[in-house]
């Protein structure tokens, strides 16, 4: 190319274009490398998996088949130990108890009649024995007076010895008879006391039994279910006519102090997970991860829970997972209070530094 200057026509060499530094390409390459490092490098130092907050749930149930008349709490409500959570009733059991109560009242009336008849018969028998003893005692005293007169005459020689001995034998026989009838009368009195005591004890037992049946009938007619522990209400299930079978929970209570985390690991990465390893649990809403440790590794393969299934290859027909239980240690109470049941979390288990891609452990390294 030729240009003209103000001095005239002068030949000038063509200018060579200057190349710029490829900043865009460099930034793109660095970004790709950083993304690959972010995705691949942590896999050598951590084993991550999706998880759910679980816990040892405490059921709220009744010993009888009951109907729920009124619920005092709802799902996800916080309750305190001993707080009334529901009012239930059972008219079928109540009718049965009412029938038993009527039978116990009838039995109580029969026992009272038996008490009166038994005591009356014993007293009549005792009265007859007393009359016999009193008559024999009168005969003994009369025989004693006759013997006394014969004895005085015998000492004066007016009565032969044979008659004196005969009167003496009559007097001693009447005394012995009176003494025997006295013992029979005393035994009859003891029998009256014993019959009265036994029958009163039987009446008291029947009264207590009827009172227990009445208390049970009142209890099942309107019973309050109370929370056994403090926590959050979970697993609320609506049943037909709100009828709860015995032993089946109306709902469960999730106590944060019994919480743990259940992580679902791919079987290919489970070999890197061992009991006792430290773990970080990332919960939405918490600024810092919660510290935990691997408590146990479940032996069976299970499907991924529905709330954690996001992609088609995570369904049970494509893949299964090994649950790993993470114990939460030394978690402050205010942090535990923010845990709720079935909350989705992310678990990252720290792999020891001795691990490398070609095997777990190195010579001289610790497992």
Residue 33 has pLDDT above 50, yes or no: yes
Higher pLDDT, 143 or 251: 251
233/252 Cα distance (integer angstroms): 6
E strands present in the chain: 3-5, 8-10, 46-55, 58-60, 66-71, 78-79, 84-89, 223-226, 231-234, 243-244, 251-254, 259-265, 278-283, 290-297, 322-328, 344-350
Buried b (16+ CB within 10 A) or exposed e, 335-367: eeeebbbebebbbbbebbeebeeeeeeeeeeee
Helices 91-155 and 161-221 cross at an angle (nearest 10°) of 170
Quickly state the pLDDT bin for 48 (edges 50, 70, 90).
confident
Pick the range with the lowest mean pLDDT from 182-186, 247-251, 356-360.
356-360
Q: Give the whole-number percent of the chain exceeding pLDDT 70.
A: 72
pTM above the 0.75 mark?
A: no
Residue 212 has pLDDT above 90, yes or no: no
Mean pLDDT of 188-204: 75
Higher pLDDT, 42 or 25: 25
The segment with the largest mean pLDDT, out of 41-45, 94-98, 138-142, is 138-142
Mean pLDDT, the chain, rounded, equals 77
Residue 40 has pLDDT above 70, yes or no: no
Tokens standing for 325? 């239980």
Mean pLDDT of 352-364: 47
Q: Which domains does the chain have, with CATH numbers?
A: 59-88+224-251 (2.40.50.100), 92-221 (1.10.287)
pLDDT in tens, 246-258: 778 888 999 988 8
Pick the range with the lowest mean pLDDT from 79-83, 88-92, 343-347.
88-92
Higher pLDDT, 42 or 69: 69
SS3 state of residue 46: strand
Quickly state the pLDDT bin for 186 (edges 50, 70, 90).
confident
Q: Are 259 and 55 in contact (CB under 8 A)?
A: yes
Residue 365 has pLDDT above 50, yes or no: no
Quickly state the pLDDT bin for 327 (edges 50, 70, 90).
very high
Quickly state the pLDDT bin for 150 (edges 50, 70, 90).
confident
Mean pLDDT of 125-149: 82
320/265 Cα distance (integer angstroms): 9
Residue in the block written with tokens 């008879």: 177
pLDDT in tens, 101-132: 566 666 666 666 666 666 777 778 878 878 88
Tell me what pLDDT residue 362 has: 39
């Amino acid at each position: 190319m030729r240009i003209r200057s103000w001095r005239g026509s002068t030949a000038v060499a063509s200018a060579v274009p200057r190349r710029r530094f490829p900043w865009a390409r460099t930034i793109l390459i660095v970004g790709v490398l950083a993304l690959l490092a972010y995705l691949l490098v942590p896999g050598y130092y951590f084993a991550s998996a999706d998880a759910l907050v679980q816990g040892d749930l405490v059921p709220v149930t009744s010993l009888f088949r009951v109907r729920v008349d009124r619920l005092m709490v709802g799902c996800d409500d916080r309750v305190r130990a001993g707080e009334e959570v529901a009012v239930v009733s059972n008219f079928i059991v109540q009718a049965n108890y009412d029938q038993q109560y009527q039978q116990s009242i009838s039995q109580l009336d029969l026992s009272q009649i038996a008490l009166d008849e038994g005591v009356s018969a014993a007293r009549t028998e005792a009265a007859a024995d007393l009359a016999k003893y009193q008559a024999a005692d009168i005969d003994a005293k009369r025989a004693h007076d006759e013997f006394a007169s014969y004895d005085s005459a015998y000492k004066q020689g007016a009565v032969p010895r044979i008659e004196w001995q005969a009167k003496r034998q009559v007097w001693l026989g009447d005394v012995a008879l009176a003494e025997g009838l006295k013992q029979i009368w005393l035994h009859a009195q003891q029998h009256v006391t014993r019959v009265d005591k036994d029958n009163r004890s039987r009446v008291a037992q029947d009264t207590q039994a009827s009172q227990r049946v009445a208390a049970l009938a009142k209890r099942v007619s309107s019973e309050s279910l109370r929370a056994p522990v403090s926590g959050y209400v979970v697993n609320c299930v609506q049943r037909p006519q709100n009828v709860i079978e015995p032993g089946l929970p109306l709902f469960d209570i999730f106590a944060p102090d019994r919480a743990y985390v259940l992580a679902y690991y791919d079987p290919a990465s489970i070999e890197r997970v061992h009991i006792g390893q430290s773990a970080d649990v990332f919960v939405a809403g918490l600024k810092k991860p919660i510290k935990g440790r691997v408590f146990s590794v479940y032996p069976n393969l299970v499907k991924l829970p529905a709330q954690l299934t996001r992609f088609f290859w995570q369904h049970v027909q494509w893949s299964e997972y090994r649950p790993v239980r993470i114990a939460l240690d030394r978690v402050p109470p205010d942090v535990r209070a923010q845990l709720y049941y079935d909350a989705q979390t992310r678990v990252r288990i720290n792999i020891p530094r001795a691990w490398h891609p070609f095997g777990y452990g190195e010579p001289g390294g610790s497992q």
